[in-house]
Structure 1
Amino acid sequence: MKFKIRYADQIVGTLAIAALVALAVVVILLGSKQRWFARDYAFKTTFASASGITPGMPLVYRGFTIGKITSIALNDQDEVDASFVVFDTYYGRAKEGSLVELVINPIGLGNQFLFHPGNGTALLTEGTHVPRVDSPEGRELIDSGLAKVQKKDDTITNLIAQINPLLTNINDTLGQLNGAFRGTGKGPLADTMKGVAATVTEAGAIAGSVNRSLDGLLGDISQVTANVRGITENLETLSAEVSNPDGLVPRLVDPDGRLFGSIGNSLESVEATLSGVAESADMLKSQVPQIAGVIEELRLALVQGQDVLEAVKNNPLLKGGVSPRAEPVSSGSGSRAIEF
């Protein structure tokens, strides 16, 4: 006798449906954990090396995983292009000025791929390139205030994070210095070095021109010196000729010697004449007192003669005698008062 379960088909169908529903619930739950049905926003960045970067590496913000790296690839510029996503629940933090940072643990306890939200108001467009913290674009964003890097809790990591930008700045500075010294760099230092090089070149050209001018000037000075030396020698020769009694001047004035002889004879005659005059003057000077006494006696004689004539004129026999006359005052230079 066959055993037959009543409603077996219905039971099997119910169990199958329940199994399918359970499978769907499990898939949904598993998918929700694995974000199979979530919306992710893709972005990209660039690294110098792929060391410490792996696909699936989480993108961390304040200890929370807000995304992950999906792929890495080496580009034509020998840089590493990394694509990463930000979960839709955290997409509101992906604002303008956002940065990413790769933190490598120095003791090998694991690396971190960090996200730093920007201070802008607009959200980043999907597919936008997000700069690194240690890149020139990242430093510009930090300096402009559009980005802010959060302080890390790990002391060693903080130290390494501070050293990396310092080393990057040193490398950039050395690169700028090398470019400036090679003449291929850009910026104020390179422009200054180019200006210095141009100034040195101009100074060299000016120095060469000055040297050429000095050479010509020294030649002219040498010629003038030679001319002055010749004139000086001629003046010395002329002075010697002038000081020589038988030199140039006597030959020019008295070529045959007669003039100077005649002048000498004339001067001797004049000298003799002057000597005679001097002797006559001395003799006259010695005879002046005697002549003065004679002249005084002659004057007295004339006065007496005048008295005689007046007496004769006034004779009592003729008129009435001689009128009284005042005694003449002697000049004190009579013959008796003259010293011989």
Structure 2
Amino acid sequence: MIESNKAVLITRATGNAGYWSRLWNRMVQHKYMYLLALPGILFFMIFKFAPMWGLLLAFKEYNPYSGFAGSEWVGFKHFTELFTDKNFYIMLRNTFAINIFGLVFMFPLPIILGLMLNEVRHEVFKRINQSIVYLPHFLSWVVVASMTFFVLSTDVGIINKLITDSGGESIAFLSNPNYFWGMITLQSMWKEVGWGTIIFLAAMAGVDPQRYEAAVVDGASRWRQIWHITLPAIRPTIFILLILRLGHMADVGFEQILLMMNPLVSSLAEVFDTYSYTQGILKGQISTGVTVGMFKGVVGFILVMVSNYVVKKLGHEGIY
């Protein structure tokens, strides 16, 4: 029996040594590929994995004077306080409502715009249009919020100026809660829809041109080519991005919400990101802020796992 156990241990040790040896040989053989990936690996190691020890603060009553190690361990106290907070379900509703608006109205737009740009045959005209729709992505949310104020405010807003000059009454777009979710969605659409087309255009560029040529020979119109060739070719990309998008259903653009928020719309604008900022930064309750972040991460992880399972059950390719 002892000899058998020794043989098993020796086999495992030899197998592990062989694995690491093969891995090292593969890294040496493809050293330039690994060097190319090194900056990305370092980024995730330093800014994503290393700070994860800070999640322990969600289970401690953090005290700056006692330090991380000396702070009292309180278990799930902060999670209980978060879930029993009177504003929890309001924040949950607002967060998911804004994200559902974005999923329904925002997610399909880059696909549609990508299909339209892919059909443009004049290369110069196509490049110019691509540059124009990409530009808003590089504007900060401060600039976008200022432009929104300039267009929609009751005092100096261009739209309200046109309404009042036509004999109508000005509309409080910025202070009416009924317009808030729609305004946030329109802002995101204008700013990010062009940037979102990059991945879809890259996927469309990988479609074999011979398939289009064969379709033309068979008499297929441009619409038929899009429906039967282009869309099926980019379907895996669409599903992967959809799964990743669902993983951010608990996240809302913090800067955008903070800049567009005011007391009159706070009932529809308060989300987990603003709550984390208020509690963790303004009130100094670091543990509460970490708790909110951890809760968002768990929700995102569950949504990714479930959506990936559903997509694979439907016979499509998931993210793993």
TM-score band, normalised by shorter chain: under 0.3
Q: Which has the larger radius of gyration?
A: 1
State the TM-score, normalized to the length of structure 1. 0.16
State the TM-score, normalized to the length of structure 2. 0.17
Bigger relative contact order, structure 1 or 2 (CA pairs below 8 A, ≥6 apart): 2
Comparing both structures, which one devotes a greater share of its residues to strand?
1
Comparing both structures, which one devotes a greater share of its residues to helix?
2
